[in-house]
Amino acid sequence: MRLPANAHVAIVDGENFTVMRNSGKPFEPKLSGAEKPDLSATNFSAGVKHQDAVGQRLGRTDLDELAHGAAAAEWLNAKSIAGEITDVLVIADPKTLGEMRRHYHSELEKRLVGEIDKTVTGEPTDRIEEIIANT
């Protein structure tokens, strides 16, 4: 994947949110400057469509995790609207990414350079760079 220089990379799962920058070349990403924005997971309407009895009984829906994904999308929306983010790649586990997409603002959508539906939280930075380069 081509990742523009200075692009933001948002790494998200149901509990973690890290934002890094590409200080490398477009086809040779080098991630740096990891920050963990403080999120308030208050959007518990997130995941409402997943609240069927079967999903709840089998533990397939965790509203806290979905609310965290919605909060991450809202943080990215705010930064995009303010012009603080020009290019962004979102890497998230499939469930979180699906929930985030429901909350993308049009300004964020304009700035998206890609999405990767994979859980990479907890992976070393060089492994994440490799995943981006090979996608």
**Residues in contact with 98: Cβ distance below 8 Å, sequence separation at least 6, in sequence order:** none
pLDDT band at residue 18 using 50, 70 and 90 as cut-offs: very high
**What per-residue confidence (pLDDT) applies to 48?**
47
The answer to whether position 3 is within a domain reads no
pLDDT, one tens digit per residue, over 60-106 is 556 678 888 899 999 999 999 999 999 999 999 999 999 999 999 99
The answer to whether position 2 is within a domain reads no
2, 3, 19, 126, 130 from 27: Cα distances, Å? 5, 6, 19, 14, 10
Q: How many domains does the structure of the chain reveal?
A: 1
The answer to whether position 29 is within a domain reads yes
Q: What does the block give as tokens for 46? A: 């997130």
The answer to whether position 39 is within a domain reads yes
The answer to whether position 1 is within a domain reads no
The answer on pLDDT for 19 being more than 80 is: yes
pLDDT, one tens digit per residue, over 115-131 is 999 999 889 999 999 99
Mean pLDDT of all residues in the chain? 87
CATH number at residue 90: 3.30.420
The answer to whether position 113 is within a domain reads yes
DSSP H helical ranges for 46-93: 53-57, 63-81
Q: Determine how many CB atoms are found less than 10 A away from the CB of residue 66.
A: 27
| Domain of 94, in residue numbers | 8-133
Q: What does the block give as tokens for 91? A: 């890497």
Strand order in the sheet with 17-22: 31-35, 17-22, 8-12, 88-92, 112-117
Question: What one-letter code names the amino acid at 25?
Answer: K
Of 2, 9, 33, give the one whose Cα is nearest residue 90.
9
Q: 28 by DSSP, 3-state: which?
A: strand
